[in-house]
Amino acid sequence: MGAMVHRKDGYLKEIISTLVENDVDFIVCGGVALVLHGVERMTLDLDLSVDMDESNLKRFLHAMEKLGLTPRAPVPAESILDPEKRKMMMDEKNAVVFSFFDTKNAFRQVDIFIKDDLSYNSLHVHVEKMSLGDMKINIISKRKLLDMKKAIQPPRDKDLFDIKVLEKLIERGKG
């Protein structure tokens, strides 16, 4: 497992543990997924695809409250419960994620995808089960993560790096 998941402060593991304890259906994506797949890179936030079922979202919001994480945008956290409000965020603000963060520690941030093509329902067929300590979590597969990275336009330097490393991992038969 990557160093950033086992940092001294353990905030990423704390967030994942809280989600698991609250029975939230989610998939780990983004930089943390890369680290868990063996890519040596630093990541600070946790990108998730969360099942948008209302009861699951309520469990997710409860977990965010327990963790002391609040929306980065000046809107109530409960806004994500309303599909119309999520659609408005995407259409009017070009939002891809809804972010929660700790006002006292900006490194403690969770971004959940709100775009349909990054939804839990579209991504759950591309997951691998992985152990993180004594927990089993869903993590996006290397191949799907590669597709997601290639879809970022324009790609950032870190995306180009991630694409090269993922391609090597998959080519070596680890995908």
User: Would you state the pLDDT for residue 119?
Assistant: 92
CATH number, position 120? 3.30.460.40
* Number of domains, the chain: 1
Query: Which residue range forms the structural domain that includes residue 144?
Result: 3-167
pLDDT (mean) for 134-139: 95
Contact 155, 134 (CB under 8 A): no
pLDDT digits (tens, 9 = 90+) for 107-126: 899 999 998 889 999 999 99
Inside any domain, residue 173: no
3-class secondary structure per residue, the chain: CCHHHHCCCCHHHHHHHHHHHCCCCEEEEHHHHHHHCCCCCCCCEEEEEECCCHHHHHHHHHHHHHHCCEECCCCCHHHHHCHHHHHHHHHHHCCCEEEEEECCEEEEEEEEECCHHHCHHHHHHHEEEEEECCEEEEEECHHHHHHHHHCCCCCCHHHHHHHHHHHHHHHHHHC
Inside any domain, residue 175: no
pTM for the structure as a whole: 0.91
Inside any domain, residue 174: no
User: Would you state the pLDDT for residue 40?
Assistant: 86
User: Would you state the pLDDT for residue 4?
Assistant: 42
User: Would you state the pLDDT for residue 7?
Assistant: 43
User: Would you state the pLDDT for residue 1?
Assistant: 43
pLDDT digits (tens, 9 = 90+) for 33-85: 999 998 888 888 999 999 999 999 999 999 999 999 999 999 999 999 999 99
User: Would you state the pLDDT for residue 116?
Assistant: 85
Inside any domain, residue 55: yes
Inside any domain, residue 90: yes
User: Would you state the pLDDT for residue 20?
Assistant: 97
Inside any domain, residue 28: yes
